[in-house]
């Protein structure tokens, strides 16, 4: 099993104590986001988890506790952009706080296991092409030698983020403008020893030396864990997404980063309301089991490829 922690919320930033408690006890309860009274009991012991993928804008609360993950394989997707408080409300100062945090995490884990995400790219009167290229260049220079890959994407407007983004007055560049922009991003990254991949983008950026990326990346995970995986594409993600199957232990409407582009929160008010329910000792995130809940044990197993192949010879 690949454990995702989490596309739905920033567990390393806000819920790391809960996560470490779950690791100690070896299980977690997860609500079905489509049916709140369906709850899965998930085995998250080392014998059931091939790899953990952390998604975060601030892993600082975990830095002094990484030794508690010694029995697990894992890597981080670390989002670090040039936006200010008007878009990423509660993310600490990038230059003073987040870049040093990224560098420290990389020193602990190695370049391969900390992926830089400069996404989503949003174009507005303030955040122009020129602004993004300058911000990207400054961050790339600071992360040179600390990461091997950067992931980019262009913002998508969903029903869940449309209201929060309405006041930003975003605009959509033409395809040629996007290609020119992506090409410059790729050049800047290459100058700093960083490759670039795109996340769930339909546009082909191959001419810009930008590949279609897999955030939950089979090849990377196999490299980290040292064995082949019998894992299929995640059917629950968009068609353009190249990620392999995983199980997410987060909960929607619980992230306090306050990012205007976020699809995982309906509103800051809902996130604050759910955060008030947070109990680090609970088996389920920002919730409690009640009499109407139906708990089932979710069958999980290692995805280790058992069949001998030429790669094993």
pLDDT tens, residue by residue, 81-129: 999 999 999 999 999 999 999 999 999 999 999 999 999 999 999 999 9
Q: How far apart are CA 94 and CA 310, in angstroms?
A: 46
Maximum distance among all alpha carbons in the chain?
58
Place of tokens 């909960």: 251
Q: Does the structure show a pLDDT above 70 at 10? A: yes
pLDDT of residue 189: 98
Nearest CA among 77, 268, 32 for reference residue 160: 268
From residue 177, how far is each of 84, 123, 223, 303 by CA, in Å?
Answer: 24, 11, 36, 42
Q: Does the structure show a pLDDT above 70 at 158? A: no
pLDDT of residue 161: 66
From residue 31, how far is each of 55, 287, 292 by CA, in Å?
Answer: 19, 9, 12
Token digits of residue 70: 């010694």
Write the DSSP string, the chain: -EEEE-SSS-HHHH-HHHHHHHHHHTEEEEEETTEEEEEEEEE-STTT-SEEEEEES--GGGGGGGGGGTTS-EEEEEE--S--TTTBTTPPPIIIIIHHHHHHHHHHH-GGGEEEEEEEE---SSS-HHHHHHHHHHHHHHHBTTBSEEEEEE----HHHHHHHGGG------HHHHHHHHHHHHHHHHHTT-EEEESS--S--GGGTEEEP-SS-HHHHHHHHSS-B---B-TTS-TT--PBP-EE---SS---S-BTT-SS-S-HHHHHHHHTT--TTSSBTT----TT-EEEEEP----B--S--GGG-
pLDDT tens, residue by residue, 17-59: 999 999 999 999 999 999 999 999 999 999 999 999 999 999 9
Banded pLDDT at 205 (limits 50, 70, 90): confident
Residues 6+ apart with CB under 8 A from 174: none
Banded pLDDT at 211 (limits 50, 70, 90): confident
What average pLDDT does the structure give for the chain? 92
Q: How far apart are CA 183 and CA 34, in angstroms?
A: 39
- Helices 175-191 and 129-143 sit at what angle, rounded to 10 degrees? 20
């Amino acid at each position: 099993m690949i454990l995702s922690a989490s596309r739905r919320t920033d567990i390393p930033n806000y819920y790391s104590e809960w996560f470490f408690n779950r690791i100690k006890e070896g299980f977690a309860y997860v609500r079905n986001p489509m049916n709140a009274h369906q709850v899965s009991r998930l085995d998250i012991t080392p014998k059931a988890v091939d790899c953990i993928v952390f998604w975060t804008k601030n892993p600082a609360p975990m830095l002094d506790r990484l030794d508690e993950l010694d029995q697990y394989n894992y890597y981080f997707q670390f989002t670090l952009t040039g936006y200010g408080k008007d878009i990423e409300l509660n993310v600490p100062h990038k230059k003073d706080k987040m870049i040093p945090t990224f560098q420290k995490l990389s020193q602990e884990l190695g370049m391969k296991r900390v992926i830089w995400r400069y996404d989503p790219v949003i174009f507005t009167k303030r955040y122009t092409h020129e602004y993004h290229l300058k911000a990207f260049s400054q961050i790339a220079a600071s992360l040179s030698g600390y990461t091997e890959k950067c992931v980019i994407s262009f913002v998508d407007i969903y029903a869940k983020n449309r209201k929060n983004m309405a006041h930003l007055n975003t605009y959509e560049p033409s395809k040629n403008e996007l290609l020119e922009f992506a090409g410059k991003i790729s050049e800047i990254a290459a100058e700093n020893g960083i490759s670039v991949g795109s996340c769930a983008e339909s546009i082909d950026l191959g001419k810009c030396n930008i590949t279609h990326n897999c955030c939950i990346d089979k090849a990377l995970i196999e490299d980290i864990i040292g064995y082949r995986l019998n894992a299929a594409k995640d059917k629950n993600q968009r068609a353009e997404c190249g990620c392999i199957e995983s199980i997410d232990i987060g909960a929607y409407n619980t992230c306090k980063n306050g990012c205007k582009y976020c699809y995982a929160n309906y509103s800051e008010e809902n996130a604050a309301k759910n955060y008030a329910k947070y109990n680090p000792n609970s088996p389920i995130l920002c919730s409690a089991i009640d009499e109407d809940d139906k708990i089932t044990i979710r069958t999980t197993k290692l995805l280790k490829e058992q069949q001998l192949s030429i790669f094993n010879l």
